């Protein structure tokens, strides 16, 4: 299966082929133990911030289940997948008849990833379950992330969850479970993953061979907030430089501020800049929320309201720009002008 299917960042490893996972030992022990008991839930909601290993955990567990279809004979721990095993090779290539990976599809006309998981993708799950497994094995669907299901797709998934086929398992990933239909959440067993510790981050980044200069290492760890994906964006996509430039911009005025604004806008509107643009808009949203929270803590309610309004305005501008495919450079300039006014 191509890495584009997973939206893999530069320097990362696709979850289906990643043989290492750091920082989630307790979650792995829980999954292995409940599966071995024969009383495992048919749908597990793996929750947590983006980029901390949810998809890698899901594929590791799927590999474990498909390698040991009889729970009573399964090991008490989930070991690293063997890339040479038939199960691992089939999963890595997307050729497994017992595993279906649902994520936002690629638009064949534009070559870009669609904005949502559509009902057509969920119909693939219906077809998948309607087929008799040639080995009598489990059939596993990974939804990554379920937050991206549009309304019709979410309702279609719900119907399958309500009456799951025999020996069927759903691994439902979510960055923000509060956005899911309550009825979907209620039919899943929640498994919460937390951001990685600094030690786990160092191990994970080291396994990827990410060479962060010593002078930037602590900054990357602090800004990534326990997310390997965020660390990769900071180190490999210029995210750290963008954050530094934006923070300086907030305190600048006049010609200096305009120059910085244009540099930021150009960096985020260049070719293949989708990742860095998404990174910046996410950081901007967090910045505005932090400012509002800080104002509340010191009792400055007028300032808190100001940043709350800014947050709403920026969110609305980004939504309009996306809906009407407006020029990204001008959109960024307009947003920066509002934020720094």
Give tens-digit pLDDT for 257-297.
999 999 999 988 888 888 999 999 999 999 999 999 999 99
- Region 310-315: mean pLDDT is 95
> Dihedral angle at the C-alpha atoms of 154, 113, 267, 281, nearest 10 degrees?
0
Return the H-helix or E-strand segment holding 143: strand 139-143
Q: Which pLDDT score is estimated for 135?
A: 60
- Region 41-49: mean pLDDT is 97
- Region 330-340: mean pLDDT is 93
Give tens-digit pLDDT for 223-237.
999 999 999 999 889
Exposed/middle/buried for residue 57 (C-beta within 10 Å: 0-12, 13-18, 19+): buried
**Crossing angle between the packed helical segments 119-130 and 151-162, to the nearest 10 degrees:** 20
DSSP state letter for 117 = B
Q: Which pLDDT score is estimated for 323?
A: 87
Q: Which strands, in side-by-side order, build the sheet including 43-47?
A: 99-102, 139-143, 168-174, 43-47, 189-192
pLDDT band at 1 (very low <50, low <70, confident <90, very high): very low
- Region 120-128: mean pLDDT is 92
Q: What is the mean pLDDT of the chain?
A: 91
- Region 122-145: mean pLDDT is 85
Question: pTM, whole model, 2 decimals?
Answer: 0.90
Per-residue burial over 111-126, b if 16 or more Cβ lie within 10 Å, else e, is eebeebbbbebbeebe
**Crossing angle between the packed helical segments 274-297 and 301-323, to the nearest 10 degrees:** 160
Contact 141, 102 (CB under 8 A): yes
């Amino acid at each position: 299966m191509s890495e584009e299917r997973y939206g893999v960042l530069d320097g990362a490893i696709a979850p289906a082929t990643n043989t290492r996972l750091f920082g989630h030992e307790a979650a792995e022990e829980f999954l292995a133990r409940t599966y071995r008991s024969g009383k495992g839930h048919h749908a597990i909601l793996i929750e947590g911030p983006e980029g901390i290993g949810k998809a890698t955990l899901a594929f590791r567990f799927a590999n474990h289940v498909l390698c040991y279809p009889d729970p009573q004979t399964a090991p008490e721990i989930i070991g690293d997948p063997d890339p040479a095993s038939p199960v691992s090779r089939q999963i890595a290539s997307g050729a497994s008849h017992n595993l279906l990976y649902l994520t936002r599809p690629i638009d064949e006309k534009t070559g870009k990833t669609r904005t949502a998981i559509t009902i057509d993708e969920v119909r693939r799950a219906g077809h998948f379950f309607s087929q008799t497994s040639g080995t009598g094995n489990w059939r596993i669907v990974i939804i990554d992330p379920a937050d991206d299901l549009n309304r019709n797709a979410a309702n279609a998934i719900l119907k399958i969850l309500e009456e799951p086929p025999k020996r069927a398992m759903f691994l439902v990933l979510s960055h923000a479970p509060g956005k899911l239909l309550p009825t979907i959440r209620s039919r899943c067993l929640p498994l919460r993953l937390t951001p990685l510790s600094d030690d786990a981050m160092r191990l994970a980044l080291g396994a990827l061979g990410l060479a962060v200069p010593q002078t930037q290492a602590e900054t990357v760890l602090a800004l990534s907030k326990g997310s390997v994906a965020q660390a990769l964006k900071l180190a490999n996509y210029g995210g750290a430089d963008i954050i530094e430039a934006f923070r300086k911009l907030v305190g600048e005025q006049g010609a200096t501020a305009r120059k910085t604004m244009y540099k930021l806008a150009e960096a985020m509107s260049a070719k293949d800049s989708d990742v860095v643009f998404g990174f910046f808009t996410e950081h901007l949203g967090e910045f505005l929320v932090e400012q509002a929270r800080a104002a509340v803590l010191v009792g400055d309610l007028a300032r808190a309201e100001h940043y709350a309004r800014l947050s709403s305005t920026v969110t609305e501008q980004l939504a309009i720009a996306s809906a009407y495919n407006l020029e990204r450079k001008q959109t960024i300039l307009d947003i920066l002008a509002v934020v720094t006014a």
